[in-house]
Amino acid sequence: MREHGAHAHDGDGADPYVPGHGDRSFGVEHYDLELVYKVDTNRLEGEATLHCRALAEADSIHLDLYGLSAQKVQVDGRAVKTTHRSGTLTVRTPIAADQKFVLRVKYSGTPRPVPSRVLGATGWEELTDGVIVSAQPHGAPSWFPCNDRPDDKATYTLRLGAPPDYWVAAAGELEGTRRRSAVTTWTYQQRVPMATYLATVQIGRYSPVDIARADVPVRTLVPLGTTPDDLLGSFARQGEMLTFFAELFGPYPFASYTAVITEDDLEIPLESQGLSTFGANLVDTDWESVRLIAHELSHQWFGNAVTLSAWKDIWLHEGFACYCEWLWAERSGVSSVQAEVEKHHALLAELPQDLLLTDPGPELMFDDRVYKRGALTVHALRMRVGDGAFFALLRSFLTEHTGGNVTTAMLLEHAERESGQELGDLAGAWLESLPLPECPRPA
């Protein structure tokens, strides 16, 4: 549910982990983005139409738009006054609670990542020859004006024009392409509500490879010259992974899945809705590469279909995705879940125990301990309630909340209700205390 209440931007934003982003006085129901991008000059021109609903009365609203200039802003077809500073576009228009309105922003510029002293730079990034967009958690304003908070999900239409020798991949389903002189326009629809940070565009000289078989199309976009044989043993198994996770967690939540492999090496893979992006350095059959392929795919259930309401609950994404790596390790004969649990518990026991899983703080939200302790917490829950109840309650939780937002408290309430067990002590030890509990093992 979207949160109602007074105007909550007041310079601080909607979430303390990403100050200055998001406005709680309104929600966006649909983004219509019409963009043209010149690869050689890194120039973006856009018109964004946002179909919005007021959640509270306000005399102005705030959009997030960084490093690009807004030339023209209209509300319901009328030009309005704006101010634009520090990545916040303030639109001076009074809104009444529950009022529906349409915001149109014409903008352009040279896109670049949004910097942050704590979180690093994320967003639109030029590659050697093309673009990647990695927006988690605060990079979406680098390429479109948005209400940048994870609990404001919307559907999307994206039309992006680029030079004809480039492939444009985006979070959504490709509706078609149209070529006019030196520009090919790609049209994508995202029909499952999506958080702004999961919206993405990848532009490069790619060719599609279809080798994975599954219930939905699974495609891999590879740099020209890469052969299907290069992907065997790694990306070729994505269909199996998808089928396996669907057996455990319920149907894959989107219409297709795409993995983009860039020509450049990337430090880490990038997650977005229905699409993940990997560096060329991850085309490898070793477990370190394969586990990341499983990790990103599992985020489609844990993170993308069902998304945290506030960034402090990041363990709900990363703990489950890390646990899915261990499940795949067991399924593919690399290791067993319990062996991974024992190994990572021993490693965590050697590290400082100063991280609170339900509120690690922005400095530690992507700390590896969030991932591993999160996965151990998932295993502790499984050991407590038993396999049957564990997988059943995860399936029903995901079904109930697909397209929506959740909190740790919502997961715990659901787990207690479905399993018939009181879980306060487990939550207290794993989620709300600093010391690492004993290693979870079968009873």
Tens-digit pLDDT profile for residues 359-390 = 999 999 999 999 999 999 999 999 999 999 99
Is residue 400 domain-shared with residue 283, that is, in the same domain? no
Instruction: Give the Cα separation of 18 and 255 in Å (integer).
Output: 31
21: domain CATH number is 2.60.40.1730
Nearest-5° Cα angle at 317, 311 to 322: 135
pLDDT (average), residues 140-155: 98
Assigned domain for 68 exists: yes
Q: In which residue are the tokens 């009873």 written?
A: 443
Q: Which of 286, 301, 316 is the last residue of a domain?
A: 301
Averaged confidence pLDDT in the chain: 95
* Segment 239-279, tens digit of pLDDT: 999 999 999 999 999 999 999 999 999 999 999 999 999 99
Residue 425 CA, chain-centre distance (Å), reads 31
Domains identified in the chain, total number: 3
How far apart (Å, rounded) are the C-alpha atoms in residues 214 and 384? 32
The parent domain of residue 85 ranges over: 1-199
Please tell me the predicted confidence (pLDDT) of residue 443. 83
Given a cut of 60, is residue 148 above it in pLDDT? yes
pLDDT of residue 210: 84
Does one domain contain both 351 and 426?
yes
The phi and psi torsions of 104 (rounded to 5 degrees) equal -125, 130
Among 199, 220, 252, give the residue marking a domain's end.
Answer: 199
Do 287 and 365 lie in a common domain?
Answer: no
Reported as type and span, the H/E element at residue 86 is none
- Does some domain include residue 436? no
SS3 291: helix
Q: Which of 240, 272, 301 is the last residue of a domain?
A: 301
For tokens 């190994």, the residue is: 343
Is residue 248 a contact partner of residue 298, using CB atoms and an 8 Å limit? no
pLDDT value of residue 231 = 86
Task: Please say whether the beta carbons of 151 and 310 come within 8 A.
Answer: yes
180-183 contacts: CB < 8 A, separation 24 or more? 183/36
Question: Which residue matches tokens 């024009």?
Answer: 161
